[in-house]
Amino acid sequence: MPFSGSSSFTSPTRAARTTVRPTGGWRAAVLVTLVVVVTIVSLDLATPADFRTRALLGLVPIVVAALTSVMVTATVTGVLVTLYIVLQALSPIPSGGWAVLGPLLIGIGGLLGVLIARRREEQYARVQAVIDIAEATQRAVMRALPDHVGDLHIADFYQPAARAARVGGDWYDFQPSPHGVRAVLGDVSGKGLPAVSASASLLGAFREAGYHEADVREVARRLEIAMQRYSAWARVMGEEELPDAFSTALLLHFPPGVDAVDIVNFGHEPPLVVGADGSVHTPDVPSGVPLGMGALGTELPEPVRLPFRPGDTLVLFTDGVTECRDDDGVFYPVRDRMPGLAERLPADAPPAELLRRIVFDLHGHRHGTPSDDTAITVIRRTEGRVKPYATPSDAALYEPAGPSGDASQYATDMRERACPSRSTSSTKAIA
């Protein structure tokens, strides 16, 4: 079960590269080869001199080729030719022609096996290239999150409903900026590739606006525009599945130096807050219309400021959690279950531990395979931890202070160390 954060689990956004080539093929090839060869040799030695089965060794390379590589197939062929010669020396077939015909048949079988293995490896390579491109594209849309962004400790879980996919209609990300850390979690209407396309549009808008805009209201406005632009594009391109797409979302702003969080709710499930003392409550975050419906003339929802102190934890989730059903069709009561899940959680436990409990409990409740994308993000505020995460020009915003305590000078020194030739040449030019 995939997780991220400080646990041994990995989120699908961090999952390892998918490979189509079977692992352990050489072991299977060795086992099959031994079984087949031993069977053929045993029958050969047990049958009369005028009826020998050793010529069947020519079929073994073809079997091996279906399981392993060209090199292994060629090696097995050579071993079989040697084995045939040894058998012929120990127990020759009366007809003298078999001394030459047998190795020839094995050689022909080996040649066919090599061609089969080569063809199979070429097909694997083509399929692997397609998978690599698809996974790189998916990682660009839903990038992996760091464990920490500023003083926020993060754990995330994402399970698309589509099999073998890493992204879907649920979307989330974190964006550090000179104005504080911004976070978002949303759920696009619809499913499949059109929902992924809409998610990509919204994530791109969030990453740019979340970094550059000082006011979180402007970030919200930019997200609304992005959703409307996507819907217009979908109509022009004839995307019938999502002609008027919309997305629920929670937009969060963590102002620097303030133990608080500003939340803008676009028709989404409100988050849960787990206090440092283990208490759980649902904050009052008024819901506005989803993204993409601003054209109806409604006002964008206003941000609501909530206290968010060190040790507090926010739990954000999509309707893949709340609409998860058990065998009796009962929805998963995440708000009722959270106090028990957060109970006896160590004060210094990373958010990945709470996430682990939530996901295990959710999977225990679920009947069958998920019918909707599921996204969960757990955010815990820590005491003054800062992790580098910025463009070089803004490194002083995120890098730790140097020995002198001057973060700006420390970042400058680090850049000069990274590019000494540029610094030296610039100095000489000025001189």
Specify whether the CB–CB gap between 43 and 37 falls below 8 A.
no
- What pTM was estimated for this model as a whole? 0.70
Model pLDDT for residues 129-142, shown as the tens digit of each residue: 887 777 777 777 78
Strands of the 260-266 sheet, one edge to the other: 170-175, 181-188, 247-254, 260-266, 304-307
Model pLDDT for residues 274-313, shown as the tens digit of each residue: 998 889 999 999 999 999 988 776 789 999 999 999 999 9
The average pLDDT across 313-341 equals 92
Cα–Cα nearest to 224, from 318, 288, 181, 282? 288
State yes or no: pLDDT of 116 exceeds 80: yes
Specify whether the CB–CB gap between 358 and 5 falls below 8 A.
no
Cα–Cα nearest to 360, from 15, 1, 5? 1
Tokens of 9: 């689990």
CATH architecture of residue range(s) 146-381:
4-Layer Sandwich (3.60)
Q: Give residue for tokens 């010529």.
A: 55
Confidence class for position 347, pLDDT limits 50, 70, 90: confident
d(CA 218, CA 196): 24
Specify whether the CB–CB gap between 195 and 225 falls below 8 A.
no
State yes or no: pLDDT of 241 exceeds 70: no
b/e burial code for range 210-248 (CB count within 10 A of at least 16 → b): bbebeebbebbebbbebbbebbeebeeeebeebeebbbb
Q: Look up residue 301 and give its amino acid.
A: P
* pLDDT score at 425: 38
| Mean of all residue pLDDT scores within the chain | 79
Model pLDDT for residues 12-55, shown as the tens digit of each residue: 555 556 665 655 556 766 777 788 788 888 887 777 766 667 77
* pLDDT score at 31: 79
The average pLDDT across 420-424 equals 39
State yes or no: pLDDT of 190 exceeds 60: yes
